[in-house]
Amino acid sequence: MTIPRTIAIDGPAASGKSTLGERLARRLGYLYFDTGVMYRAVTLKALQTGTDVYDEPRVTRLAEIIVIDVRQASVNDGRMYDVFLDGVDVTWEIRSAPVAANVSVVSTYAGVRKAMTEQQRRIGLQGNVVMVGRDIGTVVLPDADLKIYLDASAEERARRRFVEEQARGIPTSYEDILDNVRTRDKIDSSREVAPLRPAEDAIILNSDHLDADGVLEAAIRLVEAA
Ligand code: CDP
């Protein structure tokens, strides 16, 4: 049996892509690469520097010059990895509500996507990788050996993110999260460049009635059948 060397997992906000991607990569001994981290880091940089997120040329310039580094987790606080932005650990800052509220706008910019896609492709083409995002199967790695599109209802996705944030002690409300999930879905699916949609050859996995173990088992069956 030959195991797919490049696995793309795409899907809408909070559909469980990160959990699946990390666990699948660990099971296969592959690199796990979460591309959402990069768009979140650009957004955080814009917020930190007082750059108007609607100023496309400025935000694009930031995307072209910042250094984003993802390394093995160095702190045991529930993180899957460390994220450094220009040398500073921003692992949790990129998950904050202001970043979540602005990241989809930043992700519509063609120049931002070009800068991020180039880096992602370089890593993806080395193989033995599970890459997670919105446009991996369609744009970043169109020749990926296995493409999974992980979906779930907006309500279920918001419920999961709510439980996650509560566990981290973040004051939040289910309604605000549902609102953010719906807004991001809308912007992500309707943008001109690399919109969120399943690749033609993607296998759609709905996780509404599956827990994390169930999703992993379903994905492993797809890996074995690929
Ligand atoms: O984990 P969650 O699904 O909430 O978000 P994420 O995967 O960290 O992605 C955050 C945002 O980055 C998304 O809402 C998209 O706007 C953007 N993104 C993208 O445009 N393309 C990707 N390959 C990954 C993320």
Give DSSP secondary structure letters for 34-83.
ETHHHHHHHHHHHHHTT--TT-HHHHHHHHHH--EEEEE--S-SS-SEEE
Does the residue 60 lie in any domain? no
Integer angstrom CA distances of residue 208 from 107, 124, 205, 223: 26, 29, 9, 21
| Other C-beta atoms lying within 10 Å of the C-beta of residue 62 | 21
Does the residue 93 lie in any domain? no
Q: What is the CATH number of the domain that holds 186?
A: 3.40.50.300
CB of 212 closer than 8 Å to CB of 26: no
CA pair distance 176, 165, nearest whole angstrom? 12
Q: What is the DSSP letter of 12?
A: S
CA pair distance 78, 153, nearest whole angstrom? 26
DSSP string, 189-212: HH-SSS-S---TTPEEEE-TT--H
Closest ligand 1 atom to residue 39 Cα is 12
DSSP run (H or E) holding 117: helix 110-124
Give the model's pLDDT for residue 33. 95
Domain that holds residue 198: 6-30+127-225
Q: Measured in angstroms, how far is the CA atom of residue 76 from the centroid of ligand 1?
A: 24
Tally of structural domains, the chain? 1
Give the model's pLDDT for residue 226. 85
Q: Measured in angstroms, how far is the CA atom of residue 211 from the centroid of ligand 1?
A: 21
How would you write the pLDDT of the chain (226 residues) with one tens digit per residue?
688 999 999 999 999 999 999 999 999 999 999 999 999 999 999 999 999 999 999 999 999 999 999 888 899 988 889 999 999 999 999 999 999 999 999 999 999 999 999 999 999 999 999 999 999 999 999 999 999 999 999 999 999 999 999 998 988 999 999 999 999 999 999 999 999 999 999 999 999 999 999 999 999 999 999 8
Burial environment of residue 195 by CB neighbours within 10 A (0 to 12, 13 to 18, 19 or more):
middle
CB of 131 closer than 8 Å to CB of 208: no
Q: Measured in angstroms, how far is the CA atom of residue 134 from the centroid of ligand 1?
A: 6
Give the model's pLDDT for residue 48. 98
Does the residue 64 lie in any domain? no
Does the residue 167 lie in any domain? yes
Strand partners, 85: 68, 88
Does the residue 207 lie in any domain? yes
Ligand 1 probe mutation, 34, 103, 130, 185, most atoms within 8 A of CB: 103
Q: Measured in angstroms, how far is the CA atom of residue 1 from the centroid of ligand 1?
A: 33
Does the residue 72 lie in any domain? no
Does the residue 35 lie in any domain? no
Give the model's pLDDT for residue 171. 87
Give the model's pLDDT for residue 1. 63
Ligand 1 pocket (Cβ < 6 Å) reads 13-14, 18, 35-36, 39-40, 103-104, 107, 133-135, 184, 188
Does the residue 119 lie in any domain? no
CB of 51 closer than 8 Å to CB of 32: no
Give the model's pLDDT for residue 72. 86
